[in-house]
Chain A
């Protein structure tokens, strides 16, 4: 399998090395041509810094980036011709119409003159913007700007597309439409580098994901393999009546429960062994005179994996700095993918 991107020992220090802010610390990974590669991490983990280095917008402090066989530090021009960039903020020209935005980008990327109008029309139609082609973009909704921004990034038919947080802040319909677009682009052969902190989005779209935290790659693998490696964060979800909301303390005392999280009208009990916990839950309900409304076992979600790897506790938003270092080191050994 040929590699679209090869990253080796990539480091970025803002400010002077030694005293500056270490944003990315000697990371390394490969992105295969034709795959959707997710780059996940909490805010400030180094996602956008990495993506800006990959798209030539930021100079690395050290390390090497090779895209389609070209070393980015020495030969960026052919790479720039083959890549598209959709940044986090839709950087469209609000003073221009949708049509003029696309024409400008087509001219900038030297799309042949006779193909520009045809490609622009095709994109505007498939992105649902054709009727608004002559409207100034300042009158567009956030979702429409996002779609236009993606259309501008692909009008020159790039082999590699960088997407930075493509759906946050969008309504469900727009977000769904953009995910479909990403799938379609990938099906047509475009390699996608997706930077996101939306775990479910990565789960749905990505062939492989890398999880970055505090400038280090914590793990790289397919979503399913990552989940399989985290059997210890399996859970049992139970809904009880009456007064089902008041039993958290008692449920957390059951043998094998690592911690308990209230999920709406249900309780989620995290455990390494759901089969041992299930009879305890039914026994507890019977002994307390409670009715079991629902009882199910859940495997680890990608979100659980992400929270584990980024040092946050599963099911909460608590960030435990003290546990982070050892856990991350432990996972690197376990996953074998992080560098």
Chain B
């Protein structure tokens, strides 16, 4: 009995890995991914950073928070509706694996994209601008956890029952922009008015930004452990709506 359970677990993990590798190979060069996942965080960053008096390390901390957030959360809303439209999503849904395995594979795709772009941002910051990293292990943990958490957030939008990526892009972009402005990325948490800070605490990006501040600058507003715990909790919580929405989609016929 135990070996059957173990075999099933191994199968499911291998299937999530297979889905992730396939998406990495088939999706990374799509124009929508290049625009919304790879270029957008840099546009956002430069539009605020140019002509501002900002230390290199501060810039790197903000850029890392933006890249993990934007890149990770862009994959789900783009890939799943597109796969529904061309019919390949049915192939995955009909395969002998649990829905959670499929969603884990999809979450891993966005997370890996985000980690890749974050590493690129980090290299640019360190090599070109001489930024230093105060707590490297926290940076690794923050990028990894933030990437998975925000990728799971993207899955919520990707799970909207539609075959048109355009239907998903609008609400997902709206939410992501709103979160970006309230999360202490451009106005530090410590400088916010109490009401604005209360709103900022609702956003998971706040904790990712605070974590990047701890990792890169060596100081943050909240405890780094609290940031890590809340990011983990958000990531787990964000996996619940996609499961429920996929069940609804199965009833509706998407």
Binding site for B on A (CB under 8 A): 14, 49, 52, 55-59, 77, 80-81, 83, 85, 87, 89, 91-93, 95-96, 100, 104-105, 107-110, 152
| B194 at the binding interface (Cβ < 8 Å) | no
User: Can you report 13 residue pairs joining A to B where beta carbons are below 8 Å apart?
Assistant: A14-B253, A56-B93, A56-B94, A57-B250, A81-B96, A87-B87, A93-B88, A95-B26, A96-B22, A96-B25, A96-B26, A108-B18, A108-B92
Whole-angstrom distance between the alpha carbons of A83 and B96 in the complex?
A: 9
Q: With both chains docked as a complex, state the minimum distance between the C-beta of B75 and any C-beta of chain A, in angstroms.
A: 15
The verdict on A91 contacting B18 (CB below 8 Å), with A58-B250, A110-B11 known, is no
Count of residues in B whose CB is under 8 Å from the partner chain? 25
Q: Select A95's contact among B25, B94, B251, B252, beta carbons within 8 Å.
A: B25
> Given known contacts A57-B94, A80-B95, A104-B22, what 6 new A-B pairs fall within 8 Å (CB)?
A56-B93, A57-B90, A87-B87, A89-B86, A95-B25, A96-B25
Closest to A101 in B: B22
The verdict on A104 contacting B18 (CB below 8 Å), with A59-B251, A91-B87 known, is yes
Q: Select A93's contact among B14, B26, B95, B96, beta carbons within 8 Å.
A: B26
Whole-angstrom distance between the alpha carbons of A110 and B15 in the complex?
A: 8
Main secondary structure of the interface of B (DSSP, over half): helix
Closest to A110 in B: B11
Q: With both chains docked as a complex, state the minimum distance between the C-beta of B125 and any C-beta of chain A, in angstroms.
A: 32
Whole-angstrom distance between the alpha carbons of A83 and B95 in the complex?
A: 9
- Give the chain A neighbours of B25 by CB distance below 8 A: 95-96, 100
- Give the chain A neighbours of B88 by CB distance below 8 A: 91-93
- Does A91 lie within 8 Å of B96, measured CB to CB? no
| B91 at the binding interface (Cβ < 8 Å) | yes
| B97 at the binding interface (Cβ < 8 Å) | yes
Q: With both chains docked as a complex, state the minimum distance between the C-beta of A175 and any C-beta of chain B, in angstroms.
A: 20
Q: With both chains docked as a complex, state the minimum distance between the C-beta of A195 and any C-beta of chain B, in angstroms.
A: 14
Whole-angstrom distance between the alpha carbons of A7 and B97 in the complex?
A: 23
Closest to A105 in B: B91
Closest 6 CB pairs of A and B: A91-B87, A80-B96, A95-B26, A81-B96, A107-B18, A89-B87
Q: Mark B65-105, 1 if CB is under 8 A from A, else 0.
A: 00000000000000000000011101111111110000000
Instruction: Tell me the B31-89 residues at the A interface (CB within 8 Å).
Output: 86-88
- Give the chain A neighbours of B98 by CB distance below 8 A: 77
Whole-angstrom distance between the alpha carbons of A104 and B105 in the complex?
A: 14
Closest to A107 in B: B18
- Does B94 lie within 8 Å of A93, measured CB to CB? no
Closest to B86 in A: A91
Q: With both chains docked as a complex, state the minimum distance between the C-beta of B15 and any C-beta of chain A, in angstroms.
A: 6
Q: Select A91's contact among B91, B247, B251, beta carbons within 8 Å.
A: B91
Closest to B253 in A: A58
Whole-angstrom distance between the alpha carbons of A87 and B88 in the complex?
A: 10
Whole-angstrom distance between the alpha carbons of A83 and B253 in the complex?
A: 20
Closest to A89 in B: B87
- Does B253 lie within 8 Å of A85, measured CB to CB? no
Q: Select A52's contact among B18, B22, B253, beta carbons within 8 Å.
A: B253
Closest to A88 in B: B87
- Does A109 lie within 8 Å of B96, measured CB to CB? yes
- Give the chain A neighbours of B97 by CB distance below 8 A: 108
Q: With both chains docked as a complex, state the minimum distance between the C-beta of A99 and any C-beta of chain B, in angstroms.
A: 13
- Give the chain B neighbours of A83 by CB distance below 8 A: 94
- Give the chain A neighbours of B15 by CB distance below 8 A: 107-108, 110
- Give the chain B neighbours of A100 by CB distance below 8 A: 25
Closest to B89 in A: A91
Instruction: Tell me the B78-136 residues at the A interface (CB within 8 Å).
Output: 86-88, 90-98
Whole-angstrom distance between the alpha carbons of A14 and B253 in the complex?
A: 8
- Give the chain A neighbours of B93 by CB distance below 8 A: 56-57
- Does A59 lie within 8 Å of B250, measured CB to CB? yes
- Give the chain A neighbours of B26 by CB distance below 8 A: 93, 95-96
The verdict on A77 contacting B96 (CB below 8 Å), with A58-B253, A85-B90, A110-B15 known, is yes
Q: With both chains docked as a complex, state the minimum distance between the C-beta of A332 and any C-beta of chain B, in angstroms.
A: 27
- Give the chain A neighbours of B14 by CB distance below 8 A: 107, 110
- Give the chain B neighbours of A108 by CB distance below 8 A: 15, 18-19, 92, 95, 97
Whole-angstrom distance between the alpha carbons of A80 and B96 in the complex?
A: 5
- Give the chain B neighbours of A109 by CB distance below 8 A: 95-96
- Does A93 lie within 8 Å of B250, measured CB to CB? no
Whole-angstrom distance between the alpha carbons of A49 and B251 in the complex?
A: 11
Closest to A23 in B: B253
